[in-house]
Amino acid sequence: MVIGNKLFDEIDKPIGYKVVYENSYGIESEASWNGIIKGYNGFPDGKNVGSGYSFEGKNKVIVSNWEGVFTTNDGDQLTFKGRDMNREGKFVVIRTYSTNSNKLSWINGLVCLLEGTFNKTDKEFKSIGYEWIFQ
């Protein structure tokens, strides 16, 4: 596998959070967020909204599952699903997209690798998305 072109910069802000349960192993929570994507190399600009579940273990490592909708500035919609691991405010995400848009059909099945950080002061998740190429 090879990391390909940079596809986008993304800035997300949390819009909801609640603890689902807590036990001796850690905390499971549900969260939602929205964000802005600046695309490169043919990837569109737009806004996204997503939600999902996270588990934070006693070791402070957080593993999350996310899904949502990305609406391009041209009005096309894409759905996405992702999984990430976050430790000490740094995270990595594997995300896939799908769409019914003929113009953006090349995105169907695209696998992206995102790396990013969480800024506690600004309460923003900032990430860069790259294409993940299977060889």
More confident site: 134 or 64 = 64
Give DSSP secondary structure letters for 54-98. EEEETTS-EEEEEEEEEEETTS-EEEEEEEEEEETTEEEEEEEEE
pLDDT tens figures, 70-96? 999 999 999 999 999 999 999 999 999
Cα 134 to Cα 123: distance, rounded to the nearest angstrom: 34
Domain residue limits at 114: 2-133
CATH code for the domain of 40: 2.40.160.20
What pTM, to 2 d.p., does this model score? 0.91
Q: How many domains does the chain have?
A: 1
Nearest alpha-carbon partner for 101 in 44, 47, 27: 44
pLDDT tens figures, 85-129? 999 999 999 999 999 999 999 999 899 999 999 998 889 999 999
Cβ neighbours for 109, distance < 8 A, ≥ 6 positions apart: 96, 98
